[in-house]
Structure 1
Amino acid sequence: MEHIMSIANGDGLWADCLLPLKEGTAWRVREITSNDDWGQGLQEHELARLKAQKFCGKTFDFGVLEASQEILLVVDPDQIRAGWGVLAQKLGPIGLAIDPQDVGFIQRAVGFCSGVRQFDETSPYLVADTELAPEQKVILQSFLSGIKLIEAPTSLLGVEGLMCAGRLLGDLHNAIVEIIAVDELQDQYPAIHAVGRAAEEAPRLLHLAWGAKDHPRLCLVGKGVVFDSGGLNLKPGGSMALMRKDMGGAAFVLALASAIMARKLPVRLEVYVPAVENAIGPGALRPGDIMATRAGLEVEIGNTDAEGRLILADALALATEQELDLLIDVATLTGAARVAMGFDLTPYMSRDTETRNALLQVAEGVNDPLWPLPLWEDYGRKLRTPFADLNNVGDDGAGGAIIAACFLSCFCGAADDWLHLDLAAWDHGDRPGRRKGGAMAGWFSLLSYLEERYGAA
């Protein structure tokens, strides 16, 4: 409970690397591939010890060689992260040597943390050979803080808690942070207000700005639905259980902003997080309601459970009121994306062909899965309604992820370079080395792409 409570008060968020690092005796991890002759160079007593452990050289097998204090781990190059997660899950309280100067350090460190939610005296830990470089700390701080936010229950990280996380981040990097009381400016942010007005906590909009104004303007927009009941189109119980993760897009962009600011990318960064709870209560949005938006378009509510796109509409409209270089939104937007891609892979869509192709190339090199879906604007016809400018859902249930992107596109103005990620934000723990919990598939790929696009300061 203490671990979760620290999220609400900000302790450890953004400023600590959150790695289970200790000093002490360290066991070496020797990685081999499934194609290697793993017995080569081992003595007879070591081979006998591995045989006793039923080690057979398959991927994710590992053997413990006590005499030499060595762990023999079978892992292919594209599975290093998962392999270290397996070690975190299955080893006892021993220290594992990890070299921050190794090219795969971040993969190993993040993989180790992905295996277990909370480390204690019964868990293995890491012993760093040398001091972590500042940029390594930044990456780990940012990514692991984002995961921490996703996993926080709404009782401890509601709308105000999410705003607090954003303000803490801004203060750390001397950014300008504005928290807009949407309930007091309903005419300016009507869609955000309409979705959040029935909840106990009033809706808010976080705006963070950092960097020189003459640098390329990079806008990040993250969906911040701290809990999604579905509204009057109530979700069934099984679908509601994980809805604390519906602010995963907000966590993703805040974590990305943390890394961008710490790495001092030469951009004018602006982050927008519309934060609401989609609750049932007096004044709740109804199916069939006609809702105003900041962009001036009227939206008929076909389904109150398609609320994320509504709050994003106002935030995207605000972001595009000024000229920008690149617009990115990240949201746990559709179940259709999960049907198409599952939970391991984050689909994305882009208005710009060059951006779409460059991001895919980076993702394949980083081995952090992103995959493009077509932004088939003609599907916008599915949003037609005789009662308003558009409906918030399609008319037949098909192509839901693309149709949701088409809806968002209506609020992106003249932003030629717009990138939309439909995030799962959750790992079901059904793969080796991965625990059940928060996830941000594609985060490393997107950060690498932005570093490649804008360069270092």
Structure 2
Amino acid sequence: MRALCKPFVAFRDPSYPGVSGLRVPGEILPRCFPEPSPLAKTSYLVSDDPAAKPITALTRDTFDAWLKAQSAERRRWVTQSGFKANPGSFCLLPGPQGELEEVLLLVDAQEPTWSYGALPTALPPGSYYLSQALRPTAASAAALGWWLGTYNFARYKTNGRDYARLVWPKAADQDLVTHTAEAIFLTRDLINTPANDMGPTALAEAAKALAKRHRAKCSVIVGDALLRKNYPAIHAVGRASDDDPRLIDLRWGTRGPKVTLVGKGVCFDSGGLDLKPASGMKMMKKDMGGAAHVLGLAALIMAQKLPLRLRVLVPAVENAVSGNAFRPLDVLQTRKGLTVEVGNTDAEGRLVLCDALAEADSEKPDLLVDFATLTGAARVALGTDLPAFFSNDDKLAGAVLRQGTVEGDPVWRLPLHQPYRQGLESKVADLNNISNSPYGGAIVAALFLEQFVSPTTRWAHFDIMAWNLAGRPGRPEGGEAMGLRAVYAVIAELIRRAPSRKR
């Protein structure tokens, strides 16, 4: 397997696997990262198979009529098998010789995608097809749900499972389904990869690989160059790590509206000198979930060849502890010129985002969207499955809510309640990075970020979990894309309504 290597200062135990012989502290050794797995490819959606078994997909509204039309033997089988007409439930229907003849599936009319997610692993190996003709939206939802049901993070552990296959529904948009599944798989893979293989260097390499795949341009500002180019907050947060902080900058497209995506790329968050407890630190490999989201969304946009000018900015850092770590009550400079007093080093995500947002805003994009695993307060307010978002534009917010419902990718708007802005006041700097109140933490964090975005810029900020605490059909435990499909639909809608413009 090809590896990505950079020097690092070694303080390894000589017995550590992969390190041979005695190493002198401070000696420079190559640090190698296993090559990231490629974008999801599948043979689990097939063009045709004469041996495929039919799947009859019903809703609660149509189930009773279907059951009534069946033979007495089949009605008895469905009833006595314990089948319940609940969304996602399925029943294997036997033929006259006891062979599998048909699959009965109950589909959730509100979220049809996930009703198909359990089938690839739950059905006997083989091929299946949807017996009813579906409208394009429903056909695409079925295909996407099936594909997402085959996801498995197999970078470190071989998966020997064979999945059931689905014949492509005739009306499905195969390109959109394929590109969406690949984008979600990429997002999940990046989040699931542990920090020893997904530090700032590796995250930058993943962005470069994505840019190369789509003939985009990708530049990276690394280490002390961040100071020379005026990204002081990014540098301050990441300088304590052996893996240097950096700003990843990807550009693609030459015409159409200007869309800029910013993603929080804290590859691991120890909390800094305000150190997290072990329980709070355990899942912090996912703190670069915002970066994973914007790279996945960019992959979908570029694969679909949307006519727009795309820019992706990812401040990639590790919030580590060392002698040069930034400290509580330090005052940091920012790209915008505002000074920030550090009330807590564990509120570092907003610090790296503020420099990236200021840079993004300087180009006056038509749409600016950021994703970040920013606050626990958003999870307290909405739970782990429902991402919070904020926007300074009511029309944009309405479009996000509407597309979230249409796509089965729900989000919920929280307010930029301006009276809470006073909680960010500092006696020695323009801003504090935290409030002195324990309440409304997600709103306060969004208000902090708003200081680095012009009022005239259409902006949306997503505060996401980026993680499934438990597995569900099509959504296994681990890294998850949240709000990605909703935002893509908003951007696609923007493209349809906007006149084409060149640089």
TM-score under structure 2 normalisation?
0.83
Counterpart position of 2:13: none
- Give the share of equivalent positions with the same residue, in percent: 39
What is the alpha-carbon root mean square deviation over aligned residues?
Answer: 2.6
Between the aligned partners of 2:432 and 2:326, the Cα distance in structure 1 is 14
1:30 aligns with 2:56: yes
Q: Could you say which structure has the larger radius of gyration? A: 2
Between the aligned partners of 2:476 and 2:36, the Cα distance in structure 1 is 24
Counterpart position of 2:183: 142
1:59 aligns with 2:87: yes
* Counterpart secondary structure, 1:455: helix
1:289 and 1:300 in contact (8 A); partners too: yes
Between the aligned partners of 2:94 and 2:242, the Cα distance in structure 1 is 57
Counterpart position of 1:455: 496
Between the aligned partners of 2:473 and 2:165, the Cα distance in structure 1 is 19
Bigger shift: residues 58-67 or 298-307: 58-67
1:332 aligns with 2:373: yes
- Amino acid in the other structure paired with 2:193: A
Bigger shift: residues 51-60 or 284-293: 51-60
Between the aligned partners of 1:376 and 1:27, the Cα distance in structure 2 is 55
Between the aligned partners of 2:405 and 2:82, the Cα distance in structure 1 is 34
Counterparts of 1:87-126 in structure 2, within 5 Å, are: 87-97=119-129, 102-115=136-149, 117-118=151-152, 120-126=159-165
In structure 2, runs of 5+ residues without a counterpart are 3-32
* Counterpart secondary structure, 2:118: helix
CA 75–168 in structure 1, closer or farther in 2 if over 3 Å, else same: same
357, 382, 394: which is aligned to 1:341? Answer: 382
Counterparts of 1:391-410 in structure 2, within 5 Å, are: 391-410=432-451
- Amino acid in the other structure paired with 2:164: Y
1:207 aligns with 2:249: yes
CA 105–157 in structure 1, closer or farther in 2 if over 3 Å, else same: farther
1:222 and 1:273 in contact (8 A); partners too: yes
Counterpart position of 1:77: 109
User: Which fold has the larger relative contact order, with Cα–Cα distance below 8 Å and residues 6 or more apart in sequence?
Assistant: 1
* Counterpart secondary structure, 2:388: strand
1:296 aligns with 2:337: yes
* Counterpart secondary structure, 1:368: coil
CA 415–209 in structure 1, closer or farther in 2 if over 3 Å, else same: farther
- Amino acid in the other structure paired with 1:31: A
Q: How far apart are residue 111 of structure 1 and its match? A: 2.7
Counterpart position of 1:9: 35
Between the aligned partners of 1:71 and 1:199, the Cα distance in structure 2 is 54
Render the CA deviation track for 1:178-199: whole Å, top value 9, x for unaligned: 0111333324111111111111
2:129 and 2:169 in contact (8 A); partners too: no
Counterpart position of 1:364: 405
Between the aligned partners of 1:10 and 1:430, the Cα distance in structure 2 is 23
- Amino acid in the other structure paired with 2:410: P
1:380 and 1:406 in contact (8 A); partners too: yes
Q: How far apart are residue 18 of structure 1 and its match? A: 4.7
TM-score under structure 1 normalisation?
0.91
1:17 and 1:140 in contact (8 A); partners too: no
Q: How far apart are residue 340 of structure 1 and its match? A: 0.7
Counterpart position of 1:192: 234
Render the CA deviation track for 1:55-95: whole Å, top value 9, x for unaligned: 13233321101325321112221232222223245334343
1:26 and 1:94 in contact (8 A); partners too: yes
- Amino acid in the other structure paired with 1:54: G
Render the CA deviation track for 1:110-136: whole Å, top value 9, x for unaligned: 433544642955443223247973333
Counterparts of 1:176-255 in structure 2, within 5 Å, are: 176-187=217-228, 188-212=230-254, 215-255=256-296
- Amino acid in the other structure paired with 1:49: W
What is the aligned residue count? 450
